Amino acid sequence: MSTVVVDELGARLKTYEGRAAAVAGSGKDPVNEPMIRHWCEAMGDTSPAYAGPDAVAPPTMLQAWTMGGLSGHTGRTGAYDELFDLLDAAGCTSVVATDCEQEYLRPLRPGDEVTFDAVIESVSDRKTTKLGTGYFVTTRMDVRVGPDLVGTHRFRILKYAPARRKEEGKGEGKGTRARRPRPVVNRDNAGFWEGVERRQLLIQRCTDCGTLRHPWLPGCNACGGLDWDTVEASGEGTVHSYVVMHHPPFPAFDPPYAVGLIELAEGVRIVSNVVGVPFDKVRIGLPVRLEFRRYDEPQGPGDEDGPLVLPVFRVQEGRVQEGREGGVG
């Protein structure tokens, strides 16, 4: 026996698949050196490929050349807005961007004039996620220079009716505690979190040029190499900088607390909590040592979520005086 759930809204949304969201849009500016320079400075990308007379634009800037800015896109058809109106009217009033995929077919160079078309590629069936129930909408933008397709940009959002939180109306003030936000694990950083599970802090190493990098990235910023292996951090480090968080409050944290930028002995830096001293004793230059801490122990047999293991850094006993005042309060 099976039950057929008729989702009238879903059927109506499906009719938008394949409809144009933008036709013959054009970039607000040609590909240009100033925007490339600003991007590289913001990203800390010093690759020589993006400067000089033979410069190309970083491939990941693809979307930057098509963004509408405050005055909006040219070429919009209204189909995307109609789809959003339907979803809003059905109570799916919240939106979250879930992921983006890009393909690069040839490099863009200063002077290239970009045009684009966008299509509503797919609307999912109704899905229930931790955020709520709604529909994933995937839009594909094809970016061209003249007749040539130079790249595609797929952008997926979830438009949903927010779920009522479990905590609402029950358990408040009875010792239930908000859980820490969970890391977003994806194919680029999965190895890092697998290491954490084994109580190892793994640093990525480019196998072409040997440069270490953290956080994990698909490619090397020094040479562009895509192959990598890992080295295990010794666990020694110093506080390179820190902030003390007072506001805004997050339910799983008790402000004030110190968030440190730790420079590992290997030379890369990692953001983590500094533990072992009160927040106002954290100083730049303090020696710290890695340890792994468990957070959010299961609160009973019905709690299927396991604890969260995170690398944190403990100030070494008796060494609190070694640092110097700094950071931003």
Residue 85, helix vs strand vs coil:
helix
Interface with Zn ion in residues 125-164 (CB under 5 A): none
Dmax (CA) of the chain: 72
Distance (Å, rounded) from C-alpha 65 to C-alpha 252? 39
Residues 306 and 17: their CA atoms lie apart, in Å, by: 39
Distance in Å, CB of 218 to Zn ion, minimum: 12
Distance from the Cα of residue 198 to its chain's centroid: 24
**Closer residue to Zn ion, CB minimum distance, 68 or 225:** 225
State the number of binding residues for Zn ion (CB under 5 A): 8
Q: Closer CB to Zn ion, residue 183 or residue 224?
A: 224
CB of 225 to Zn ion, least distance (A): 4
24 contacts Zn ion (rule: CB under 5 A)? no
In whole angstroms, give the CA distance from residue 45 to residue 223: 11
Q: Is 223 an interacting residue with respect to Zn ion (CB under 5 A)?
A: yes
Smallest gap from residue 47 Cβ to Zn ion (A): 10
Structure tokens at 55: 């410069």
Site string for Zn ion, 261-300 (x = CB under 5 A): ----------------------------------------
Taking the least distance from each CB to Zn ion, the nearer of 152 and 211 is 211
Do residues 301 and 261 make contact, with C-beta atoms less than 8 angstroms apart? no
Distance, in Å, from the CA atom of 287 to the CA atom of 291, rounded to the nearest integer, reads 13
From the list 244, 216, 212, 234, the residue with the least C-alpha distance to 290 is 234
**Cβ proximity to Zn ion, 48 vs 146, nearer residue:** 48
Chain centre distance of CA 210:
26
Question: CB 227 → Zn ion: shortest distance, Å?
Answer: 9
Burial of 323 (0-12, 13-18, 19+ CB in 10 A): buried
Tokens of 214: 């953290």
Rounded-to-integer distance, Cα 233 and Cα 264, Å: 7
Residue 89 or 226 having the CB closest to Zn ion: 226
* Bridge partners, 160 (sequence order): 94, 134
Q: List strands edge to edge, sheet with 212-213.
A: 212-213, 202-206, 228-232
Least separation, in Å, of the C-beta of 222 and Zn ion? 5
Which among 56-64, 146-154, 223-231, 294-302 is the span making contact with Zn ion, rule CB under 5 A? 223-231
Eight-state DSSP code of residue 129: -
Closest by alpha carbon to 91, among 159, 164, 138? Answer: 159
Q: Which stretch binds Zn ion (CB under 5 A): 30-38, 40-48, 224-232, 239-247?
A: 224-232
Residue type, 250: F
For Zn ion, the closer CB: 142 or 208: 208
CB of 255 to Zn ion, least distance (A): 39
Smaller CB distance to Zn ion: residue 43 or 222? 222
Q: Torsion over CA of 47, 204, 185 and 235, rounded to 10 degrees?
A: -130
Smallest distance, Å, CB 50 to Zn ion? Answer: 16
Of 35 and 51, the one with the shorter C-beta distance to Zn ion is 51
Exactly one of 30, 59, 191, 225 binds Zn ion (CB under 5 A); that residue is 225
Residue list 1-20, contact with Zn ion (CB under 5 A): none
Closer of 219 and 235 to Zn ion (Cβ): 219
Cβ at position 57, least distance to Zn ion in Å = 21
Tell me which residues in 193-222 interact with Zn ion (CB under 5 A): 206, 208-209, 211, 220, 222
Which residues of the chain form contacts with Zn ion (CB under 5 A)? 206, 208-209, 211, 220, 222-223, 225
